[in-house]
Chains A and B, each alone.
Chain A
Amino acid sequence: RKEVEQDPGPFNVPEGATVAFNCTYSNSASQSFFWYRQDCRKEPKLLMSVYSSGNEDGRFTAQLNRASQYISLLIRDSKLSDSATYLCVVTSYSTLTFGKGTMLLVSP
């Protein structure tokens, strides 16, 4: 079983839509959780951390369910500029383990 699994997509949505991505992880000892965003031919960049209580940053909401080892990201009111690959990331000690990413394409 892969350590971090994501649906590769692509998710094709119109501007203004709400879209949700899910991720599962296998290591129950994982300590921290993040969503990263990667634009085409660019490096990954931190989008937001994920906390058990759930957290929101503008149009983005992240949730963590430790019991189910499941992480989600919700994007409301999608913009064209949200088109990218979203990487689910978990940490054990100081290293990050990345999922292969979910591609989002937002169209006019």
Chain B
Amino acid sequence: DAGVIQSPRHEVTEMGQEVTLRCKPISGHNSLFWYRQTMMRGLELLIYFNNNVPIDDSGMPEDRFSAKMPNASFSTLKIQPSEPRDSAVYFCASSVDSYGYTFGSGTRLTVV
């Protein structure tokens, strides 16, 4: 099993640009999570999908952030427009309900 696959690994973009982060969960996992990690705030849950349906998006910081899961094998997190304070490592994780929780390698985003 290839695990949770995230792309890109690194992204550097200018303020105001649109950024799209991608995630492929482990096959058979029915839950998918997007987290953001910074030194100041640690790991924060942004949004959680179960069976492709968004269940809890209360962690999404503002309207500039959106997430989709069009099918069981793919999810995107989009930031439009990006700002320097969005710079962080974004992790995707998947699980079968609350079991087998596995993280991807993360996307390190820098907005300049």
Contacts and interface: CB of A to CB of B under 8 A. Distances in A.
Q: Is the interface of B mostly helix, strand, loop or mixed?
A: strand
A95 B43 contact: no
A43 B45 contact: no
A98 B50 contact: no
B42 A95 contact: no
Interface stretch (B15-23, B63-71, B74-82, B91-99): B91-99
Given A32-B98, A91-B98, A96 B45 contact: yes
A18 to B, nearest CB: 26
Given A46-B101, A95-B48, A87 B106 contact: no
Interface residues of B, number: 20
Given A43-B91, A100-B42, A95 B56 contact: yes
B42 A94 contact: no
Interface string A77-92: 0000000000100010
A14 to B, nearest CB: 27
B105 A101 contact: no
Nearest to A46: B101
A46 B98 CA distance: 13
A39 B36 CA distance: 16
A97 B45 contact: yes
Nearest to B45: A95
Given A43-B91, A99-B42, A94 B103 contact: no
Contacts of A91: 98
Contacts of B43: 44, 87, 98, 100
Interface of A: 32, 42-46, 87, 91, 93-101
Closest 10 CB pairs of A and B: A100-B42, A43-B103, A98-B43, A94-B98, A95-B48, A43-B105, A94-B97, A44-B103, A43-B106, A94-B31
Interface of B: 31, 33, 35, 41-43, 45, 48, 50, 55-56, 91, 95, 97-98, 101, 103-106
